[in-house]
Chains A and B, each alone.
Chain A
């Protein structure tokens, strides 16, 4: 089976490109990124702010059961073209990671299929490589914890 999500990270570059095809019409794919309630469901964060428009800003947060902040990220939206494009910054608060620039492109493939291309530019190659290694340390655990929480709630 072909991998659905692809990550292209060339050696020595300070960018990565993530692509994914969805069995969703492009408007629903776009909506998943622009409505707070939906973002919360699939990202697993609390969305404290999400102004889906040019010059808008967003703020995401994750807290543990004791109310400690585990993750807080913010950014501003530059370009915003419904069902086509979002250009935004992304910065994780209280981490050594500098802000990154993200180009999100939403492409209609058929009435029922769409493609997302995320082009991320990091401050340096080292920052990019560090970010790629994150899931080893944290991301995978977080995803598993999240999954476990969902499964125990069923």
Chain B
């Protein structure tokens, strides 16, 4: 499993990106996060689970409440500005491969 790839898949979802933005300034409980979305609470929980699994979020127990907060180390990794550049080349090379395979089979 390529964890890095999972991170990028995680942030491909608009709700998950919104959650990350929401948590940029403060840590919040699942309930408080969910109250910012029209989406059903279990859906938000699922998003939180995915974000936690790929280590973009960390959970912290404070009394009876669990607070979610950003994992700055992982966030820095996705802020890595090389990724769009890499994807651009990847698209281009996929096309090259397709064009040349077609050429070969002609």
Contacts and interface: CB of A to CB of B under 8 A. Distances in A.
Interface of A: 1-7, 9, 18, 20, 22-24, 28-29, 31-32, 38, 41-44, 116, 129, 131-136, 139-140, 143, 147
A4 B84 CA distance: 14
Interface of B: 2, 4-5, 81-82, 84-101, 103-104
B99 A5 contact: no
Contacts of A129: 81
Contact of B99 (A18, A20, A38): A38
Contacts of A29: 96, 100
B99 to A, nearest CB: 5
Contacts, number: 85
Contact of A38 (B81, B87, B88, B100): B100
Query: Is chain B's binding surface mostly helix, strand, loop or mixed?
Result: helix
B89 A18 contact: yes
A142 to B, nearest CB: 9
5 contacts: A2-B2, A3-B86, A22-B96, A32-B100, A135-B85
A7 B91 contact: no
Given A7-B82, A135-B85, A22 B92 contact: no
B90 A5 contact: yes
